[in-house]
Amino acid sequence: MLLIISLILFLKPLEIFGRSHQLANNKKSDTSWGSTHEDLVTDLPGQPSVNFTHYAGHVTVNENNGRALFYWFYECSIAPESKPLVLWLNGGPGCSSVGYGATQEIGPFLVDSDGFGLKLNPYSWNKEANLLFLESPIGVGFSYSNTSGDYHIIGDDFTANDTYTFLHKWLLKFPSYKKRPFYIAGESYAGKYVPELAEVIVDKNKDPSLFIDLRGILLGNPETCDAEDWKGLVDYAWSHAVISDETHKTISDSCDFHSDDTWSNQTCTQAVDEVLKQYKEIDIYSLYTSVCIRDTASSEQQTTQVLFDTKSKMMPRIMGGYDPCLDDYTSSYYNRPDVQKALHVSDGQHLKNWSICNMTVFGNWSDTKESVLPIYHKLIDAGLKIWVYSGDTDGRVPVLSTRYSLGALGLPITRKWRPWYHQKQVGGWVEEYKGLTFATFRGAGHAVPTFKPSESLAFFTSFLNGQSLPFQRI
């Protein structure tokens, strides 16, 4: 994911040590970045001392419209020059990969509970790879466009093409990664982003001048096929006692999720509304953890927000997540003037309004593929490695949704369902198919690395190394 190499050749030592004690222990890298020193992050408020460098800033993806995407890139903490590059994407659509992936899940810094500092993540994925986090599409986090019309045409294809442009322009900033093994990872609605971007890369790689060495994709609790995702959401809610037998039977009898007109059936719509009503009482992303109750919040603020459009087949967006108040802490941090200045997104005076999810982006989403399963087949045929994982206490894109979707692929099984182990305990279960590996994480919610950080890092390492998950207690 984020690659970071030192700018010692371009900055005088006294300037570096004078600007920030945080870099005092940073190791030197073998590659110089030319003019990219302007994106070097120093004086990040609350940052612990680290032995790697990191960069943040905007990359313009459309000069005419003034469209720019914000990234944050962390060098691998061990031998970055020999490690792959991994791009991480969060979904929503409309949610920040910086707010979630980088500082709640797999990045080296986690936002502290007071919203004023950072703490080290001992299980950061930048122990194994260079990590690149991207806020995409425009309207998410610090990413923006100066052309208002752009915000009305955002959708799957728009996002994939802008991200592809970003990658090539980012590689001009960090040219030593041009030929580095590259992987794309993400969760939730990135279950569509990731394979869609991978498909663009595979297609464009036919031109040698545009070649990106894409090796594989990694998907967590991914939206995959709308019909199977809906069926899995309902069946999971019933099997985990969130809804009644009667509600489940009504949906089974009246809802055709494969239909282009699912919600014209009022009986179906009312029964699905009952599912969402019950999930508003708990955290759909983590069934067995507490919801965030703010002491000073009004009753309206304490009600879980659900955004669901019956004119669309898109899955509902329900605000929530574990800590359970971590979203609040993260928003407090990224709206600080000194933080925005350190990340090169404002001058510290004229602030950007950062939010962890932009619900307007979700509501205005103009196109979405109902299924990316055909892309899976295409990527498997292209020889890419595909691993899919699922936290089994997530109700939003539950393990049943993923199993139904992957089952629809009809892939031959090469290694049957079995437990996999981490530190002599069952981490979950795994099944290997021809061209794809599927694994569960026992007791994890939607954002698996938040719940199972040690297991997730071990899983990620196995993925990169092309090793099967441990099947013995060792």
What residues have CB less than 8 Å from 378, skipping those under 6 apart?
A: 199, 202
pLDDT digits (tens, 9 = 90+) for 448-463: 999 999 999 999 999 9
Find the range with the poorest average confidence among 232-241, 354-363, 366-375. Answer: 354-363
Side chain identity, residue 194: V
pLDDT in tens, 414-458: 999 999 999 999 999 999 999 999 999 999 999 999 999 999 999
In this prediction, residues 14-32 reach a mean pLDDT of 37
φ and ψ of 179, to 5 deg: -110, 15
In this prediction, residues 178-190 reach a mean pLDDT of 96
Does the structure show a pLDDT above 90 at 15? no
Please say if the pLDDT value at position 297 is more than 90: no
Mean pLDDT over 354-377 rounds to 92
Alpha-carbon span 427 to 136, nearest angstrom: 31
Give the 3-state DSSP-derived string for 229-278, with helices as H, strands as E and coil as C. HHHHHHHHHHHCCCCCHHHHHHHHHHCCCCCCCHHHCHHHHHHHHHHHHH
In the predicted structure, residue 281 carries a pLDDT above the cut 50: yes
Contact by Cβ (8 Å): 268, 282: no
CA–CA separation, 240 and 283 (whole Å): 13
Q: 124: which 2 tokens?
A: 């950061």
pTM value? 0.89
Residue 290 banded pLDDT, cuts 50, 70, 90? confident
Average pLDDT taken over every residue of the chain: 87
pLDDT at 291: 78
Residues 248, 392, 394, 405: which is the catalytic one? 394
**Does the pLDDT value for residue 324 go beyond 70?**
no
From residue 118, alpha-carbon distances to 24, 50, 339, 360, 452 in Å are: 18, 12, 11, 29, 20
Which amino acid type is present at position 319? M
Under the banding of pLDDT at 50, 70 and 90, the label for residue 330 is: confident
Residue 210 three-state SS: helix
Percent of the chain with pLDDT over 70: 85
pLDDT band at 3 (very low <50, low <70, confident <90, very high): very low
3-class secondary-structure state, position 3: coil
Q: Residue 22: exposed, middle, or buried by beta-carbon count in 10 A (0-12, 13-18, 19+)?
A: middle
First to last CA, the chain: 29
Weakest-pLDDT range from 22-31, 250-259, 281-290: 22-31
Q: What is the pLDDT of residues 52-102, one digit of tens each?
A: 999 999 999 999 999 999 999 999 999 999 999 999 999 989 999 999 999
Please give, one letter per residue, the 3-state secondary structure of 351-386. Answer: CCCCCCECHHHHHCCCCCCCECHHHHHHHHHCCCEE
Half-sphere exposure of 352 (CA within 13 A, CB side): 22
Q: Helices 399-409 and 373-381 sit at what angle, rounded to 10 degrees?
A: 60
b/e code 322-344 from CB counts within 10 Å (16+ = b): bbbbbbbbbbebbebeebbbbbb
pLDDT digits (tens, 9 = 90+) for 156-179: 999 999 999 999 999 999 999 999
| CB half-sphere exposure, 336, CA atoms < 13 A | 18
Strands 118-120 and 109-111: antiparallel
Which candidate in 39, 54, 446, 456 is catalytic?
446
- Residue 206: strand, helix, or coil: coil
Min mean pLDDT across 87-91, 295-299, 334-338, 370-374 is at: 295-299
Alpha carbon distances (Å) from 59 to 64, 142, 178, 202, 389:
14, 11, 16, 22, 31
Active site residue 188: yes
Return the SS3 of 98: helix
From the candidates 188, 331, 401, 405, which is the catalytic residue?
188
